[in-house]
Amino acid sequence: MASITQTVDHVGEDLTMFPSEKHYAPLWTVLDKMVPPRPNPRAVPTVWRYNEMRPDLMKAGSIVTAEEAERRVLMLVNSNIEPPYTTDTIYGGLQLVLPGETAPAHRHVAFALRFIIEGEHGFTAIEGQKISMEIGDVILTPSWCWHDHGNEGTKPMVWLDGLDLPLFRNVPVNFAENYTSSRYPAIASEESPIQFPWRDVQNALDGDKLPYTIYHYSRKGQRHLSNTISAQAERLDAGFTASPRQETCSFLYHVKSGEGVSNLITSDGNKTEIRWKEKDTFVVPAWCRIEHTCSSAEPAYLFAINDRPLLESLGLVRRA
Model-level pTM greater than 0.85?
Answer: yes
Q: Answer yes or no: are the C-beta atoms of 126 and 145 closer than 8 Å.
A: yes
Give how far the C-alpha of residue 41 lies from the chain's centroid of Cα atoms, to the nearest Å: 15
What is the CATH architecture of 198-314? Sandwich (2.60)
The pLDDT value given to residue 14? 55
Mean pLDDT of 25-52: 92
CB within 8 Å of 45: residues ≥ 6 apart? 264, 266, 272, 274, 282, 283, 284, 285, 288
pLDDT bucket at 25, cuts 50 / 70 / 90? confident
Note the pLDDT tens digit of each residue in 137-160.
Answer: 999 999 999 999 999 999 999 999
CB within 8 Å of 263: residues ≥ 6 apart? 271, 272, 273, 290, 291, 293
> Where in the chain are all domains bearing CATH 2.60.120.10?
46-195, 198-314
**Which residues partner with 155 through β-bridges?**
none
Roughly how many angstroms between the first and final C-alpha of the chain, as a whole number? Answer: 27
**Which residues partner with 138 through β-bridges?**
115, 196
Please say if the pLDDT value at position 6 is more than 50.
no
CA torsion sign, 198 to 204 to 205 to 206? positive
Dist. CA 140–CA 148, nearest whole Å: 12
The pLDDT value given to residue 7? 44
High-pLDDT (> 70) share of the chain, %:
95
pLDDT bucket at 26, cuts 50 / 70 / 90? confident
What is the residue-averaged pLDDT of the chain? 93
Mean pLDDT of 57-72: 88
Q: What is the 3-state secondary structure (H, E, C) of the chain?
A: CCCCCCCCCCCCCCCCCCCHHHCCCCHHHCHHHHCCCCCCCCCCCCEECHHHHHHHHHHHHHHCCHHHHHHCEEECCCCCCCCCCCCCCCEEEEEEECCCCEEEEEEECCCEEEEEEECCCEEEEECCEEEECCCCCEEEECCCCCEEEEECCCCCEEEEEEECCCHHHHCCCCCEEECCCCCCCCEECCCCCCEECHHHHHHHHHHCCCCEEEEECCCCCCCCCCCCCEEEEEEECCCCECCCECECCCEEEEEEECCEEEEEECCCCCEEEEEECCCCEEEECCCCEEEEEECCCCCEEEEEEECHHHHHHCCCCCEC
Q: Which of 15-29, 100-114, 187-201, 227-241 shows the lowest mean pLDDT across its residues?
A: 15-29
Note the pLDDT tens digit of each residue in 78-135.
Answer: 999 999 999 999 999 999 999 999 999 999 999 999 999 999 999 999 999 999 999 9
Dist. CA 288–CA 311, nearest whole Å: 15
The pLDDT value given to residue 32? 87
Note the pLDDT tens digit of each residue in 173-192.
Answer: 999 999 999 899 999 998 99
Mean pLDDT of 256-267: 98
The pLDDT value given to residue 13? 52
Which numeric CATH code is attached to 46-195? 2.60.120.10
Q: How far is CA 144 from CA 3, 41, 189, 194, in A?
A: 46, 29, 20, 14
Contacts for 3-6: CB closer than 8 Å, 24+ residues apart: 3/37, 4/31, 4/35, 5/31, 5/32, 5/35, 5/36, 5/37, 6/31, 6/32
